[in-house]
Amino acid sequence: MAIALLVLFILWWVLLGRLESALQQAEQQSVDMVLTQLRSALVVKGAEAMLSREQSLSKLEGQNPFNWVDHQWANYQGDCRPEQIEAGHWCFASRLQKETGERADGWLIYKPKQPINVENKRVGAGRPIAWLVTTEFADRNGNNLRDQDERSTGLKLQPVPFRKTTVNQQDARR
């Protein structure tokens, strides 16, 4: 009886390890899929802005890319504060304009349930990750800084370091 229980315990332990690995892989694929869809929406929105006389790429910086995709996201919470993010969910934390009190640009945030790799970086479970919609530009001199003569070429999701102050106070583009 003890040997049977030991074998069952070992099988149960192996099964739980495989289940955890499958959950991590599923969450990672889900995050990759959402980021791919949002980046596709940024390409379309950027092209529309470049062709339009009413819009510009700079006006779209910091905006919520979820608003540009015609899709109902089950794990998207909408506007949030970093301390309110549920694990396994996305949200958009917008900053308040000090002068007017209106919501302005902000950060796209995801809080993983499992430890996963996002954009070649390991992210622990429950540690939020943040992105900012910024403009891409033709970096002719290779200094990774936009100079006046370098034109904007589109929109991109830029990963930003997530700190509690990121969403409340700092400008992640600096």
Residue 30: C-alpha distances to residues 23, 90, 92, 139, 148 (Å): 10, 11, 18, 32, 38
Q: What is the pLDDT of residues 21-69, one digit of tens each?
A: 898 889 999 999 999 999 999 999 988 888 887 777 888 888 889 888 8
Q: What is the pLDDT of residues 88-119, one digit of tens each?
A: 899 998 876 555 445 468 888 999 988 888 88
Number of domains making up the chain: 1
Report the distance separating Cα 8 and Cα 14, nearest Å.
Answer: 10
Residue 128 lies in a domain: yes
Residue 174 lies in a domain: no
Residue 45 lies in a domain: yes
Residue 145 lies in a domain: yes
pLDDT at residue 127 greater than cutoff 70? yes
Residue 150 lies in a domain: yes
Residue 33 lies in a domain: yes
Provide the domain limits for residue 13.
2-168
pLDDT at residue 10 greater than cutoff 80? yes
In this predicted structure, what is the pLDDT of residue 165?
Answer: 46
Residue 83 lies in a domain: yes
DSSP secondary structure of 85-153: PPTTEEEEEEEEPTTT--EEEEEEEEE-SS-EEETTEEE-TT--EEEEEEEEE--SSSSSS--TTSPEE
> What is the pTM (predicted TM-score) of this model?
0.75
Residue 173 lies in a domain: no
